[in-house]
Structure 1
């Protein structure tokens, strides 16, 4: 059983595998085990960052959500990293902030040139600059 809920941003196919088959896969395909360990390490770093930022200011919390989405769903383009432009209500739920606060923070980030938004996409021109916003 899963210990958390999952929200997808794009159509997604989900499967499962019996535990014994998984153990056999890891035993016969070492690269699969290495990639799984890399993925788990990345997820652990994300969780640790989110726990650290739980008590941070609203800008850091929204920036963290955008970075989380960029890591998982981001697509590189010549303008930076593009992610789906989620409704403010969704970002509010993910960050634990009021929708109005999320709207203010996004406007502030846009004025600083850290993000650019259109109807469907949110572009992060410089992910490292957004990371520096984290307190």
Structure 2
């Protein structure tokens, strides 16, 4: 990828120096993963930072005998940076929800870039604060009814990773259990509520291309305000 494309695609590198972007291009490794493959296992965190060029990734953890999805990421986002910064073990895995293309940079080189570029270091702090706000917001959602939580989760995914199309805003047709984990509701409620939204014409699911279209996102915004 060219330096200009990296600066435009990844929010972390907004304001980074040309030297930082050129170094990233020279050292980053391109990696492709097929759907359902493990991108990072529990023992591999802290070795590199990964940047999503295209595709969808979930971060999951094991609670008892059940796997729980903690986060869903897509184009423009990165993961693994926290493990590089605090060097603590992780009881999580990163799994490809679709075919994924990533750029990776080793932990040592990533830390060197942060130390050499004050703008990148500041931007890293900004994004960490933003993630903390997102976590706090998700925590606040738990006291709301399931319908509200699912709609707000769909809106969040659309705002952060959605692609505008003639049908509406397109996101991945995320497996119901993963979507339920993210919204903090059960899988049965998720399936029932998605069917209701489809019946009302506010979303459309295309199994052939694994896509979910928010066909009336304005109505979803309006409904979220009412609940």
What is aligned with 1:39?
127
What is aligned with 2:178?
90
Secondary structure of the equivalent of 2:213? strand
Distance 2:216 2:119 in 1: 32
Q: How many residues align?
A: 133
The answer as to whether partners of 1:58 and 1:101 remain within 8 angstroms in 2 is yes
Q: Alpha carbons of 1:76 and 1:9: their partners in 2 closer, same or farther (altered >3 Å)?
A: farther
TM-score w.r.t. the length of structure 2 is: 0.48
Structure with the bigger RCO (C-alpha within 8 Å, sep 6+) is: 1
One of 78, 101, 108 as aligned partner of 2:166: 78
Which is helix-richer, 1 or 2? 1
The answer as to whether partners of 2:201 and 2:216 remain within 8 angstroms in 1 is no
The answer as to whether partners of 1:46 and 1:68 remain within 8 angstroms in 2 is no
Structure 1 runs (4+) deviating above 4 angstroms are none
1:108 Cα deviation (Å)? Answer: 2.0
1:115 Cα deviation (Å)? Answer: 1.8
What is aligned with 2:140?
52
What is aligned with 2:35?
none
Using the TM superposition, name which of 96-105 and 36-45 deviates more.
Answer: 36-45
Distance 1:7 1:84 in 2: 14
Per-residue CA shift, 1:3-47, capped at 9, x if unaligned? 6734543425455413x852x423433442354344334423321
Q: Describe how 1:1-135 pairs up with structure 2 within 5 A.
A: 1=88, 5=92, 6-10=94-98, 11=100, 13=102, 14-18=104-108, 22=111, 24-119=112-207, 120-132=210-222, 133=224, 135=227
Q: Alpha carbons of 1:41 and 1:109: their partners in 2 closer, same or farther (altered >3 Å)?
A: farther
Q: Which has the larger radius of gyration?
A: 2
Structure 2: gaps spanning 5 or more residues: 1-87
Distance 1:3 1:52 in 2: 25
Which is strand-richer, 1 or 2? 2
